[in-house]
Structures are given as C-alpha cells and as structure tokens.
Amino acid sequence: MPDLLAHALLAYSLATIASWRYEWVSRPYVTVAMAGAFIPDMAKAELVVSNYWMEQFLGIPFDWFGLHTTGAALCSVLVGVLLVRSSERVRVGALLALGAASHLVADAFLLKPTGVSYPLLWPLTRYYPPTPGLYLSTDVMPAVVLGVVALGTTLVTRYRQ
C-alpha cells in the first residue's frame, strides 16, 4: 500500500523537522505522529466489515468513510490522548493531530473523477473543496518522493547532532 507508506513518511518528516525546533519532540514522539497519520485510514475497516453489516448490527445508518473526516480524526485524537499519562497528553495530542492533519491534507490532493475532494472539514461544513488531482492513492511516486524527503530529514537530523 504505497498510500499508507506515504502518509507514514510524511508524518515522520514533519515530526522530525519539528524536532529541530522543539527539543521535546524525541524519537518516541515522532512515532506518535506516524501513528496519528494512520487515524483517518481507520475507514479502511470497510474492507473487512461492510457498511451494510454495521448498519444491521447497530440498527442505524452507518458509513465507514465518516472516519476519514476532520471531525472523526479529532475524536480519535482525543481518545488517543486519554490513553496516555496526564503529563504527556498535550504533546501526544499535538503529534497525533499533526499526523492526522498531514494525512487529511495529503488526501485532499488526490485525483478524483469528480474533480472535488471529500468533505474535508466535516462536521463544520459539507463543502467538497476542488482538488488539484496531483496523484492517485495507488501511485508509487509519492511514496518514493516522501521516502527521499524522510531520508533527507534523517540525514540532516544526524548531521545537526
């Protein structure tokens, strides 16, 4: 899955660059940002459990894609924050949010047949912003480019130490 790898590499690069400015962003926190990048892809649970099955189980209308929105990502970040010690919550929340936000923004640039992205800011608005259509989620090149960027940030980080 080049898409998932690309999201992890993007979050790694952003968190590593943040570590240049903020000393508290250590390697474990970089990993937290990478975990945050996986939050919106919880919607891929539909590959295992269909929307129809969930509707029958819950008794209400259900769509897994709702998890791939800003509102659901924020709720997931808040759940993640509750799972750590209170002294770590602000930092973990910031880095989970960084990872999730980088994922959502990167997906806003995907090529869609309709020319519009998904409702990025739901539940604030149902507006579907236009997408520049830079790449497909199945393209390997974004993962390759972000791999080179991640390697570059790693080398710069080692040089700075």
Q: pLDDT, tens digit, for every residue of 38-88?
A: 999 999 999 999 999 999 999 999 999 889 999 999 999 999 999 999 999
Task: Tell me how far apart the alpha carbons of residues 161 and 2 are, in angstroms, rounded to a whole number.
Answer: 31
pTM: 0.92
Count CB neighbours of 63 within 10 A: 12
Q: How far is CA 119 from CA 37, 129, 142, 152, in A?
A: 18, 7, 22, 33
- pLDDT confidence band for 160 (50 / 70 / 90): confident
In this prediction, residue 62 carries a pLDDT of: 92
**What residue spans define the domains of the chain?**
1-153
Q: What is the pLDDT of residues 24-39, one digit of tens each?
A: 999 999 999 999 999 9
- pLDDT confidence band for 97 (50 / 70 / 90): very high
In this prediction, residue 90 carries a pLDDT of: 98
In this prediction, residue 131 carries a pLDDT of: 92
